Amino acid sequence: MGIKIVHIACQNTAGIISTFVKCERELGFDSTLITMIPHPYGFENGLCLNYPFINESWFKGLREVFKGKNSSCKSMRKETPPIWSPSSRIEEIFFSMRDQLYDRIIRKKGILEILDSADILVLDGGLGLRRDCKYELDWVKKKGRLVSVFYGSDLRVRGVIKPLDEKSALHFTLEFDHLKLHPKAKYIFYPFEHSRVPPPHSCKPDKIRVGHSPTKWEAKGTSKIVETALKLERENKIEFLLIQNLPYKKAVELQSTCHIFIDQLSGLGYGLSGLQAIAMGIPTLVNLKKEHEEFLGDHPFVNFDETNLEEKLIELVENRELREKLGKKGIEWVKRVHDPMKATKTMVDEYRNLGWV
């Protein structure tokens, strides 16, 4: 039996964590994924605990009441890395009660036995099975091979769970802006399976279709994107397709019908939807900050901001040769830069440096 790696995640974020697990298995590791809740868009869930009181809409509203005016999400940004703490006594009591409920689920599912067999424990999102981190902290005292990986709002909005963060021997992030939020984080590129998207279109379109796929409008700058795209649609220059709240497979199918894609206008860099687009040979607009663009070097994205979105779109609409050039470059770039095995080996190399493997 090989070295056992156990991943614990709230959910299988964009299918990334199951991709790591798959690559680890191909490298000879005994890798297991444990998720707290199923992914709403149909990504693999591994061993799912089906925790209540996490993602229900009514519960999210109730938590906002718990937080009140002294939300830790606002105050924590003064610290580097930002640290999560209960924002009120009510929220603290709630998490304590929820942990007791989760404890019964953990024991019933045999999770403690799985933890006991683990050689490396990876917290995808930086969370433990309970908010008090009891089992992970007990585990790290015995084995010490704890890893935290950050994917997005887990660090930007929530922050780290301090005792887990302090006991983690390694910290990884897949988000460029996290490098400023967490001084110990090592950056790795998204492990992207190119085979999961359809091939690019080859036919000449009657009308250029421009797509955009937001998860949260405010996080993507969607209001401005929609405003500009609808203006061009009214002028009969494009057809606009807004893709949202759909299962992953359906969303990708719709995205593949686009000729131009707009990722985001928030300055947070490109996300999974942007990667999917360039992997399909679709020229993609994204708002990149100067330091991020310099870090990427020669990349296939069209960088834009709020002042020139319309101009950049019209340039692509009117220049088929440019679209084809960017599309070809994007396919090659994703395969080279976001190769899943390369991303996984980056992490495994760090394990090797510490003598874990």
Element (H, E) at 92: helix 89-108
Low-confidence ranges of the chain (pLDDT < 50): 70-76
Length of the chain, in residues = 357
Give the Å distances, CA to CA, from 95 to 57, 76, 87, 98, 229: 17, 18, 11, 5, 43
The distance in angstroms from the start CA to the end CA of the chain is: 13
Element (H, E) at 203: none
Q: What is the pLDDT of residue 103?
A: 97
Give the Å distances, CA to CA, from 40 to 37, 44, 256: 9, 10, 21
Cβ neighbours, 10 Å, residue 78: 8
Element (H, E) at 103: helix 89-108
Q: In angstroms, rounded to a whole number, what is the distance separating the alpha carbons of residues 209 and 214?
A: 16
Beta-ladder partners of 9: 35, 124
Q: What is the pLDDT of residue 330?
A: 96
Q: What is the pLDDT of residue 332?
A: 96
Q: What is the pLDDT of residue 215?
A: 83
Q: What is the pLDDT of residue 218?
A: 83
Span 286-301, pLDDT tens digits: 999 999 999 999 999 9
127 contacts 155 by C-beta, under 8 angstroms: no
CB burial of 174-210 (b: ≥16 within 10 Å; e: otherwise) equals bbbbbeebbeebeebbbbbbeeebeebbeeeeeebbb
Q: What is the pLDDT of residue 77?
A: 53
Q: In angstroms, rounded to a whole number, what is the distance separating the alpha carbons of residues 217 and 226?
A: 10
**Taking Cα atoms as reference points, which of 33, 9, 11 lies closest to residue 23?**
33
> What pTM value is reported for the model?
0.90
